Amino acid sequence: MNIPPCRLVILAAIASFCANWSFAFQITYVNTSVDTFYKLARKAYKLSRFCPTCQLPESDWLAQWSVTVSMFYPGTILGFLMVPFLTKWLGVKRAQGIMCIAATIGVGVHFLAVSFLSLGEVTFTTILSIGRLMIGLQAGSSLCLLPLYIIEISPPQHRSFLNNFQQVSQSFATLLGLLLGSEEILPLGNARFTIMQIAAVVPVLFLLFLLVITPPTPNYLCLFHPECIHEGIYIRVLTAHYYNFSAINSRLFYHGTDRSDSYRPLISNYEMMENKTYSKYAYYGKSWRDSFKGFIIGAIVAASYAFTGDDLIDTFSSNMLIGDSQNSKKVHQSTDAFTVLVSDALGVVLFFASLLGIVLADRYGRRKLVLVGLFGTCVANIGAVVFTANKVIVALCFAATKAFIGIGCGGPAWFLTSELVDPEYAWIFQPLSTGILLSTTMIETFFYLSTDALIGGYSLLILAAGPALIAAILLYLYLPETKGRSSEEIQHMLNTTTFSGIHTKKHINDDLYGTFDGNIF
């Protein structure tokens, strides 16, 4: 088992958790803390009308809450669109730091919303939406910047292992969001809103602190001159202190070694073992057009993450577990102990399944686990639709969904595009792929409540299970296995074979590849 240097593992783990925190926390704590927001909106409604007995209409709250929840996603989309410009002008590290400041301001806007309750519930939810939009800027950009940051700080042979921290961090942050947002588990009373906002900003500030105190990364990704990575070390310094850091010191800090081969750009699996000059696949991947098919396939993998229903379950599980037998679903109704227990248990399942997924993806490859994950979540979500009136069965189906996400289609959705395209264009295609993931999730989240009001439990079939099945079929036909193959070989398969997913010819022995050796099982 080839483990990266301890310092690099710790740094990548902390950065992954903090970079994923805003996204995971913001989509989960609003689920279990929905009563807190409803009480504040109801108070604003009464204060603005000077009517202590007035009740906020259910239809008004439904519309306002849908907008408030979904406004987080336009921020994430804008954040990922800013990534190419931020990395060009500021570099990966500084771009992450600037976005941390944006999220901090967004949390401050949330505090401002509580200060203006007397202006009414519309003003309250509008200010909340602006705050979530700003936090979304950091969430979306960080999800795209994190893989680039891992590339910059790690040697090629460790990047696949370290990139899998993203899914583990997502699942762990999701679990914490559910736990911290639950009044039943963490009774905070009137202080809940304040403490939730503090919890939202602390990891973001810690990430900013980490970026400031660490030296420049040894692999600066030259966006428009990628050849400079091959020729030498290009370091953009942030302060006068960084000027004193030599290339060797930076390399020793991150890698614990002075090996020159650590300065290779993003590569896929065995590429570091091949001589590109003499490779029979070397003429592939010289233009971004040659990588377009890989990008499309990677984008389908990314979008399929939303089709698993993961974020829908995280955000609306309290609503889903009510069942269609309930005469009237209310977004603000109090959650019972069973619902809280299920929400937290789902977070635990996803976390441990994600840990297992790291091992399985390295052992069995991305393609198999993505397909198993998608087909599995499709069947599990269909089960939740069929037995929608039975809370226990629905909860078990959701647990199966989370397990299939963790061990299969969750992790690769965040980084697989970078293995399907030429390394020189990964800096643009990977953020676009992540942006498609976020956009798809936003659309599903925005339309869930209105769809659920129209067709009940079948909304999960329309928004999750059905699209997941279609995506799984497409990926079965077109997604090649990237494990054990160089970038050139992958490009060769994509550009010379129509149904590259069922192309079985192998160029390199898979048994040689992996962060874990072949004797692990």
Vertex 295, ends 294 and 296: CA angle to 5°?
A: 95
User: Mapping DSSP to helix (H, G, I), strand (E, B) and coil, where does residue 480 land?
Assistant: coil
Q: Same structural domain for residues 238 and 380?
A: no
Considering the domain architecture, whether residues 202 and 340 belong to the same structural domain is answered as no
Give the long-range contacts of residues 102-105, CB within 8 A, separation 24 or more: 102/134, 102/135, 102/137, 102/138, 103/22, 103/134, 103/135, 103/137, 103/138, 103/139, 103/200, 103/201, 103/204, 104/201, 104/204, 104/205, 104/208, 105/134
Q: State the total domains in the chain.
A: 2
Same domain assignment for residues 307 and 259 = no
pLDDT at 126 (0 to 100): 92
The parent domain of residue 214 ranges over 1-225+227-264
Helix (H, G, I), strand (E, B) or coil at 271: helix
Same domain, 312 and 421: yes
Say if 300 falls within a structural domain.
yes
Q: What is the b/e burial string over 239-271, where b = at least 16 CB atoms within 10 angstroms of the residue's CB?
A: eeeeeebeeeebbebbbeeeeeebbbbbbbbbb
Clarify whether residues 48 and 159 are in a common domain.
Answer: yes
Residues contacting residue 304 through CB under 8 Å, at least 6 positions apart: 370, 374, 409, 413, 467, 468, 471, 472, 475
- What single DSSP character describes residue 452? H
DSSP conformation letters of 201-268: HHHHHHHHHHHHHSPPPSS---SS-THHHHH------SSHHHHT--HHHHHHHHHSS--GGG---S--
> Does residue 239 form part of some domain?
yes
List of residues 6+ apart from 187 with CB closer than 8 A = none
Q: Give the per-residue pLDDT at 381.
A: 92
Query: Is residue 274 assigned to a domain?
Result: no
Give residue 99's pLDDT: 93
CA distance 474 to 463: 17
Confirm whether 278 is domain-assigned: no
Task: Provide the token pair at 229.
Answer: 């990575």
Alpha-carbon Rg for the chain, nearest whole angstrom, is: 23
Q: Is 277 among the domain residues?
A: no
Which one, of 203, 20, 168, 193, lies nearest residue 115 by Cα?
A: 193
Which tokens in the block code for residue 178? Answer: 């559910």
How far is 384 from 332, CA to CA, in rounded Å?
22
Q: Mark whether 233 and 296 lie in a shared domain.
A: no
- CATH number, position 309: 1.20.1250.20
Q: In the 8-state DSSP scheme, what is residue 191?
A: G
Considering the domain architecture, whether residues 33 and 160 belong to the same structural domain is answered as yes
Q: Classify residue 273: in a domain, yes or no.
A: no
Question: What is the amino acid identity at position 68?
Answer: T
Q: Model's pTM, two decimal places?
A: 0.70
d(C-alpha 332, C-alpha 321), whole Å:
14
Is 204 a member of any domain?
A: yes
Quote the CA–CA distance of 213 and 235 in Å, as a whole number. 16
C-alpha to C-alpha distance for 114 and 108, rounded to whole angstroms: 10
Nearest to 218 by CA among 182, 255, 186, 188: 255
Same domain assignment for residues 258 and 321 = no
Residue 12 included in any domain: yes
The answer to whether 242 touches 216, Cβ cutoff 8 Å, is: yes
Q: Are residues 235 and 297 in the same domain?
A: no
Are residues 128 and 62 part of one domain?
A: yes
Residue 24 vs residues 4, 105, 181, 310, 335: alpha-carbon distances, Å: 26, 18, 12, 11, 20
Q: Are residues 221 and 360 in the same domain?
A: no
Task: For residues 250 and 308, state if they share a domain.
Answer: no
Residues in the chain with pLDDT < 50?
1, 221-245, 258-285, 325-334, 506-521
Q: Distance between CA 272 and CA 11 in Å, rounded?
A: 23
